[in-house]
């Protein structure tokens, strides 16, 4: 299992993760798409990536808005898996 990262390590990684911030101990991201079709099409792609990584987001959707929080519940914090999923989400946008 991936280990919980130090806050310093996470803050350092955020430098190369535009759009992500640290909130309540999770990697946080929010984006407003053009409409629901664009938002859910994006979620479908994230779902495919997440399932293939066997690492899934906590996320919510309200029409065109998608909010994602990444944390590794089993590790009690943010791990390299969360950073990797954040990177792959950024590649999809």
Residues near a copy of itself, by CB under 8 A: 36-38, 40-45, 47-52, 54, 56-63, 92
Output the smallest distance, CB 75 to a copy of itself, in A: 15
Q: With respect to a copy of itself, which residue has the nearer C-beta, 23 or 62?
A: 62
Output the smallest distance, CB 48 to a copy of itself, in A: 4
Collapse the DSSP code of 61 into the 3-class scheme (helix H, G, I; strand E, B; otherwise coil) and give the result.
strand
Cross-strand pairs, 77? 72
Output the smallest distance, CB 70 to a copy of itself, in A: 11
Residues 53 and 84: beta-carbon distance below 8 Å = yes
Task: State how far the Cα of 48 lies from the Cα of 30, in Å rounded to an integer.
Answer: 19
């Amino acid at each position: 299992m991936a280990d919980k990262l130090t806050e310093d390590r996470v803050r350092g990684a955020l430098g190369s993760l535009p759009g992500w911030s640290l909130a309540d101990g999770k990697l946080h991201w929010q984006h407003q798409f053009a409409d629901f079709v664009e938002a859910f099409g994006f979620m479908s792609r994230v779902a495919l990536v997440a399932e293939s990584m066997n690492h899934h987001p906590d996320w919510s959707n309200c029409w065109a808005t998608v909010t994602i929080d990444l944390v590794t519940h089993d590790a009690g914090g943010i791990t390299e898996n969360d950073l990797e999923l954040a990177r792959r989400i950024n590649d999809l946008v």
